[in-house]
Structure 1
């Protein structure tokens, strides 16, 4: 007997493998049927800034304290000055040129001009509660244009409250280019109006009550117009304009 042979269907090896239908991405069908899970979006971690270093905060505190201290000090100084001003009512001293006399004015053999002046000054301290110490080193000088004719030292003394003091100062000096200078003075003398500048530089110390303050300087300039420069004669001062200021 012949055995029954089982007949199996033939499989075509070269037949194309069936593929899944293409589904557009994003559709509901693809989301349900797709076995691949999508990766969750990455979350950004916020950057946390650290505090500034301790050194910087200490420096800022020191600067703030220093500025506050300076401002407070200025307020205290300003208040003190204001109180002192209200209490003492300070005023600048007044000065006037009473007379000017020429003892000598001549040409030397070396063609320098020798001059000797005698100047009388009145110093008036109008303050009721302030005294003035005139210290050593004060100078008084007489100029013609830009040439210094002579100079002398101011005396050292103390001037009390509301005091008027008379000063007699001797000035001497020698000036280069005396021939040219003498000719200019003689020519100016013919007009009867000779301009002279008298300059003052006086170191002083102010006394407030019983307290003696530090030294300051009184600077002044008097513009004079005199009628003559003849030696041993009384010179008439036709005009006088004096300005003084305090230099700390």
Structure 2
């Protein structure tokens, strides 16, 4: 029975022992274990000898073939471009978020310092010449002289600059009777201004647009000295915060429901309430 062979590790730069020839008498003998040589052989290795060298995987240098070197460089540079793009996107998002935070802080600081409030409006008086409405004569124009009271007393440091191009209309039951222009002026803080403006309805002034039912209701309300009218104004304004800050020009919509006692001469106007709406500046309005 043959003995078990215990292999020994190969030494680098050493020549493995040659196997005995087939006709050797030791071929049928017992196989002797390999022994580590005690002395270093000075004879050169025979040609065609091969060795096994173990190199760590992380130290292996891989060189692409020449035909794929360009593609290899392109693929190798792709992760770097992606990292640059990610960094650029993150930087842009951070900058945008920082700008939003600074803008919110600025707006909050301005609001706390100036405490802006919306001015209030009311109709002081109406001088009406609307005989054509009662007579149903479209040749008689409707003329109204309106006095509107603008109150900016709630603001201590905020002024209102009323720009030109505003429009004021007076209507009854949804039918426009007269229209006019809002004058341009500046209203200082803690100021009350009464604006007088002439309104005209042209040749017919809505007389032809009134139905027979509406004309009958108008005559009954005029006899009872309680004619409901609606005064609407669209005024472009610019807000002044102190002496330096100014906002952009926005449209202010004001609507006042009034009741007059007559449609001819100086009429007494009873205000039922006015509303003011400004959508772009809802945060301070």
Given the two structures, how large is their TM-score scaled by the length of structure 1? Answer: 0.70
Kept in 2, the 8 Å contact 1:105–1:116? The answer is no
Which residue in 2 is equivalent to 1:187?
A: 217
Contact 1:112 1:177 in 2 (8 A): no
Contact conserved, 1:112 with 1:179, CA < 8 A, in 2? no
Q: RMSD in angstroms over aligned alpha carbons?
A: 2.8
- Gaps (5+ residues) in structure 2? 1-75, 281-285
Give 1:73's match in structure 2, choosing from 83, 89, 99.
Answer: 99
Cα deviation code 1:71-102 (max 9, x no counterpart): 11111111111111111110111111111121
Structure richer in strand, relative to its length: 1
The correspondence for 2:275, drawn from 212, 219, 243, is 243
Matched positions, count: 198
SS of the residue 1:64 aligns to: helix
For the 8 Å contact 1:104–1:114, the answer to whether it is kept is yes
Change over 3 Å in CA distance of 1:99–1:114 after alignment to 2? same
Deviation of 1:60 (Å): 2.2
* 8 Å Cα contact 1:103/1:116 also seen in 2: yes
Provide closer, same or farther for how the CA distance between residues 186 and 115 of structure 1 changes in structure 2, counting only shifts above 3 A.
farther
C-alpha spacing 1:208/1:98, structure 2 compared with 1 (3 Å): same
CA, structure 1 residues 180+80, in 2 after alignment: closer, same or farther (shift >3 Å)?
A: closer
Superposed CA offset, 1:129-148 (max 9, x none): 11111111111111222221
Q: How does 1:79-228 map to 2 (within 5 A)?
A: 79-106=105-132, 111=138, 114-126=141-153, 127-174=155-202, 178-179=207-208, 181=210, 183=212, 184-191=214-221, 192=224, 193-211=226-244, 212-228=246-262
Preserved CA contact (<8 Å) 1:113 1:182: no
Structure 1 CA distance, aligned partners of 2:148 and 2:79?
Answer: 69
Using the alignment, how far apart are the partners of 1:112 and 1:52 within structure 2? 82
Gaps of 5+ in 1: 1-49
Are the aligned partners of 2:176 and 2:206 in contact in 1 as well (CA < 8 Å)? no
TM-score, with length taken from structure 2: 0.61
Report the CA distance shift for 1:221/1:113 in structure 2 as closer, same or farther (over 3 A): farther
| Structure 1 residues 113 and 59: alpha-carbon distance in aligned structure 2, compared to 1, 3 A threshold | farther
CA contact (8 A) 1:144 1:197 kept: yes
SS in 2 for 1:185: helix
Give the corresponding residue for 1:10: none
Measure, in 2, the Cα distance between the counterparts of 1:247 and 1:207.
18
1-structure distance, mates of 2:188, 2:255: 24
Give distance in 2, aligned partners of 1:210 and 1:68: 33
Call closer, same or farther: CA 1:85–1:177 in 2, change over 3 Å. Answer: closer
